């Protein structure tokens, strides 16, 4: 099994992506996670370009990396500058790491038009930079920037830049598709011509401007490169870099190469979401292997099939990468979806009840409900169809009012009358808005009977107009996200009246908590009774 070296540039190339900004402390947290995961090289940043990256390397000196080698990134010396006086080269040495990665121009267009120098001076810049860093005891990884474009434009010169870096002592030559415009067949054709002429380890660095960065990286490995550079989740400038999450999963699970220790592959999903969280970027649900929707099944025919054999609609076992199978319930659902979901949620249903629930869900989704995004409300709906279920409380009446005096803030008031068993409770409360006032009043009314509801809180509230053609009379969908110390759940309500829709979602959120706690208490009592019988 051939070992492929994984080189992560999330902390440098990844931060060049729009909307991504990492502090030095953020970068150190990610670096430690990458080291724990088993990444071979971690590119910490470009110390010659900004104080933040220089500070990261200062902090990293005090950290211990067990599996990864930290690298500093920079460019060759500037044109017509002595290498030992070049500020970028000095910064690479000051970073205090044993490995450095420098890039040089492989495309004659960049040497002459962008740098404004001669082709000969560009070769001098490459040779002197690599050899000087080698003299200082550094491992040098040479990134041949724009190599594939340069090769297409001037094959002889592109190859000459590579030969120069090798003669200067580079340990790796990394072929870069910097503009991300090359096709997989072009990568293959060029590498098959070039690799036989290179007698040191090689790598690939692909950008995703044509949506082909992962494909190009995999093709390069098949051609014989030893290292793959990329970023976690494909973060990077423009359309991003090659996604190392997908690359590692494909190479190790599909293609038979060795990238990381076998026991770490199950942490791919965890790593992806960790970096998303630190970067403050929402995790994409449809991201291959690790996305929330990567193994989600909605069509009834599909669900019926995976119950019999998951491989019918899943290319791998989701647990291999730390993900999980999800069955969605919607108007496209069949009986199989409901039965699978009920089992997952711990609700026992008869086949007849399953059929009735399918009908009810199709009817409700036609009205605007969306149960695949509201498993809390789905759970409550399923419980309502079970035998012996009783509503913990019933609403008798409610009133909401909003008061605004002059230019000051408005205040909302809510009055609620409910019954719990044979007892009646009337309460009133204020809130910042009508939903907040309703929430406060309902909790106040119920807390005497169900004190555990004080453990839960509302953490998110969303309103969506389902069909805007009716203007302010349009039907709206309200989603409420609630949580306690153990879990997070989402509930939903739909109505032309936003207060009514909010009430429905609010009631379901509390019912979910009460039902779950009731089941927990019953389970504990059952175990206690069994213990007394021993």
**pLDDT in the model for residue 144:** 97
How far apart CA 53 and CA 95 sit, in angstroms, is 9
- Terminal C-alpha separation, the chain: 55
Both structure tokens of 531: 């213990």
Share of the chain above pLDDT 70, in %: 94
Could you tell me which residues are beta bridge partners of residue 179?
A: none
pLDDT at 527: 45
Q: pLDDT-derived band of residue 351, with 50, 70 and 90 as boundaries?
A: confident
The residue assigned the tokens 């509201």 is: 374
Distance of CA 507 to the CA centre of its chain: 31
Does a structural domain hold residue 379? no
- On the CB side of 407, how many CA atoms lie within 13 Å of its CA? 0
Q: What is the pLDDT of residue 166?
A: 98
Q: Identify whether the C-beta of residue 313 lies closer than 8 Å to the C-beta of residue 342.
A: no
Predicted confidence band at 357 (pLDDT cuts at 50, 70, 90)?
A: confident
- Contact between 100 and 151 (Cβ < 8 Å): no
Asked whether residue 310 carries a pLDDT value surpassing 90, the answer given is no
Q: What percent of the chain has a predicted confidence (pLDDT) above 90?
A: 60
Phi, psi dihedrals of residue 489, rounded to the nearest 5°: -140, 155
In angstroms, rounded to a whole number, what is the distance separating the alpha carbons of residues 222 and 225? 7
pLDDT for res 309: 85
In this structure, of 328-342, 379-393, 458-472, 473-487, the range with the lowest mean pLDDT score is 328-342
Query: Which residue, 449, 466, 488, sits at the end of a domain?
Result: 449
Q: CB under 8 Å, gap of 24 or more: what pairs does 389-396 form?
A: 391/511, 392/420, 392/450, 392/511, 392/514, 392/515, 392/518, 393/418, 393/419, 393/420, 393/446, 393/449, 394/418, 394/419, 395/507, 396/424
Main-chain dihedrals φ then ψ at residue 286, nearest 5 degrees: -95, 15
Mean pLDDT value across residues 396-416: 86
Q: CATH number, domain at 416? A: 3.30.160.740
- Boundary (domain end) residue, out of 255, 290, 311: 255
DSSP-derived secondary structure letter, 475:
-
Tell whether the model's pLDDT for residue 98 goes beyond 80: yes
Q: Does residue 530 fall inside a structural domain?
A: no
- Is residue 294 a contact partner of residue 273, using CB atoms and an 8 Å limit? no
The per-type count for the chain, helices as H runs and strands as E runs, is 17, 16
Q: Does 97 reside within a domain?
A: yes
pLDDT in tens, 226-270: 999 999 999 999 999 999 999 999 999 999 999 999 999 999 999
Determine contact, residues 79/117, Cβ cutoff 8 Å: yes
Strand ranges across the sheet with 411-420? 394-403, 411-420, 423-431
Q: How many domains does the chain have?
A: 2
278 domain-assigned: no
Does this model's pTM top 0.85? My answer is no
Give the domain CATH number at 18: 3.20.20.70
Q: SS3 for 230? A: strand
pLDDT tens readout for residues 156-198? 999 999 999 999 999 999 999 999 999 999 999 999 999 999 9
**Does residue 436 fall inside a structural domain?**
yes
Tell whether 198 is covered by a domain: yes
Kindly provide the b/e burial profile for residues 189-200, where b requires at least 16 CB atoms within 10 angstroms of the residue's own CB: ebbeebbeebee
Q: Cα dist. 507→284, 368, 371, 380, 490 in Å? A: 30, 18, 16, 10, 12
31 neighbors 70 (Cβ within 8 angstroms): yes
Domain identity same for 176 and 30: yes
Nearest to 336 by CA among 314, 358, 356, 363: 358
Q: Which of 143-147, 395-399, 502-506 has the highest mean pLDDT?
A: 143-147
Contact, 107 vs 158, CB < 8 A? yes
* Highest averaged pLDDT of the listed ranges 185-199, 377-391, 406-420: 185-199
Q: What is the mean pLDDT of the chain?
A: 89
Q: How many CA atoms lie within 13 A of 213 on its CB side?
A: 31
101, pLDDT greater than 50? yes
Q: How many other C-beta atoms can be found within 10 angstroms of the C-beta atom of residue 66?
A: 8
- Helix, strand, coil share of the chain (percent; to 5): 50, 20, 30
**In sequence order, what are the residues at sequence separation of 6 or more whose Cβ sits closer than 8 angstroms to the Cβ of residue 504?**
478, 492, 493, 494, 495
Could you tell me if residue 244 is inside a domain?
yes
For residue 92, give the nearest of 47, 144, 58, 49 by alpha carbon: 47
Using pLDDT thresholds of 50, 70 and 90, give the confidence band for residue 525.
very low
Is the pLDDT assigned to residue 390 strictly greater than 70?
A: yes
When pLDDT is cut at 50, 70 and 90, the band that residue 330 belongs to is low
Write down the H helix ranges in 250-350: 268-279, 300-308, 335-345
pLDDT at residue 332, rounded to an integer: 59
Domain encompassing residue 444: 393-449
Q: Which of 200, 233, 255 is the last residue in one of the domains?
A: 255
DSSP state of 284: P
Which pLDDT value is given to residue 520? 54
Candidates 129, 139, 130, 220; CA nearest to 175 is 220
pLDDT single digits (tens) 135-163: 999 999 999 999 999 999 999 999 999 99
Quick one: pLDDT band at residue 524, thresholds 50, 70, 90?
Answer: very low
Q: Tell me which of 16-20, 378-382, 408-412 is least confident.
A: 408-412
Contacts for 136 with CB less than 8 Å, ≥ 6 apart: 93
Which are the contacts of 410, defined by CB distance < 8 A and separation ≥ 6? 402, 403, 404
What pLDDT does residue 419 have?
A: 92
Give domain status of residue 248, yes or no: yes
């Amino acid at each position: 099994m051939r070992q492929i070296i994984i080189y992560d540039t999330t902390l440098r190339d990844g931060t060049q992506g729009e909307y991504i900004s990492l502090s030095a402390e953020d970068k150190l947290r990610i670096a430690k996670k990458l080291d724990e995961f088993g990444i071979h090289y971690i590119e910490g940043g470009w110390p010659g370009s900004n104080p933040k990256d220089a500070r990261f390397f200062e902090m990293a000196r005090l950290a211990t990396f067990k599996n990864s080698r930290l690298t500093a990134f920079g460019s060759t010396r500037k044109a017509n500058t002595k290498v030992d006086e070049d500020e970028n080269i000095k910064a690479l040495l000051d970073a205090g790491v044993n490995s450095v990665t420098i890039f040089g121009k492989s495309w004659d267009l960049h040497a002459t038009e962008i740098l404004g120098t001669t082709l000969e001076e560009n070769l001098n810049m490459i040779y002197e930079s690599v050899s000087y860093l080698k003299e200082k005891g550094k491992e040098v990884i040479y990134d041949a920037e724009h190599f594939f474009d340069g090769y297409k434009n001037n094959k002889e010169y592109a190859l000459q830049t590579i030969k120069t870096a090798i003669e200067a002592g580079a340990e790796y030559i990394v072929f870069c598709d910097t503009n991300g415009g090359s096709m997989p067949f072009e990568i293959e054709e060029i590498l098959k011509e070039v690799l036989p002429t290179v007698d040191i380890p090689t790598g690939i660095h692909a950008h995703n401007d044509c949506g082909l960065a992962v494909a190009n990286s995999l093709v390069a490995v098949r051609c014989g490169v030893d290292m793959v550079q990329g970023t976690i989740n494909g973060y990077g400038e423009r359309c991003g870099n090659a996604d190392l999450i997908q690359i590692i999963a494909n190479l190790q699970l599909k293609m038979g190469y060795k990238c990381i220790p076998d026991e770490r592959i199950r942490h791919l999903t965890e790593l992806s979401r960790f970096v998303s969280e630190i970067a403050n970027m929402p995790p994409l649900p449809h991201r291959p292997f690790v996305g929330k929707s990567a193994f989600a099944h909605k069509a009834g025919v599909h669900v019926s099939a995976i119950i019999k054999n998951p491989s019918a609609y899943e290319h791998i076992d989701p647990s291999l990468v730390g993900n999980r199978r999800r069955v969605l319930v919607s108007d496209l659902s069949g009986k199989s979806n409901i039965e699978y979901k009920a089992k997952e949620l711990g609700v026992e249903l008869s086949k007849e009840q399953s059929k009735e629930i399918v009908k009810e869900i199709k009817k409700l989704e036609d009205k605007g409900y969306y149960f695949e995004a509201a498993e809390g409300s789905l759970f409550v709906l399923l419980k309502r169809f079970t035998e012996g279920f009783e509503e913990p409380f019933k609403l008798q009446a409610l009133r909401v009012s909003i008061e605004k005096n002059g230019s000051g803030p408005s205040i909302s008031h809510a009055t609620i009358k409910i019954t719990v068993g044979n007892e009646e409770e009337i309460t009133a409360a204020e809130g910042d808005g009508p939903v907040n006032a309703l929430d406060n009043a309902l909790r106040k009314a119920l807390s005497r009977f169900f004190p555990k509801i004080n453990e839960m809180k509302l953490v998110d509230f969303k309103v969506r107009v389902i069909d805007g053609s009716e203007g302010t009379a349009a039907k709206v969908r309200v989603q409420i996200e609630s949580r306690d110390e153990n879990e997070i759940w989402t509930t939903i309500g739909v109505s032309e009246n936003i207060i009514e829709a909010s009430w429905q979602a609010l009631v379901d959120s509390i019912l979910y908590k009460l039902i779950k706690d009731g089941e927990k208490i019953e389970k504990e009592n059952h175990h206690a009774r069994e213990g007394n019988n021993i």
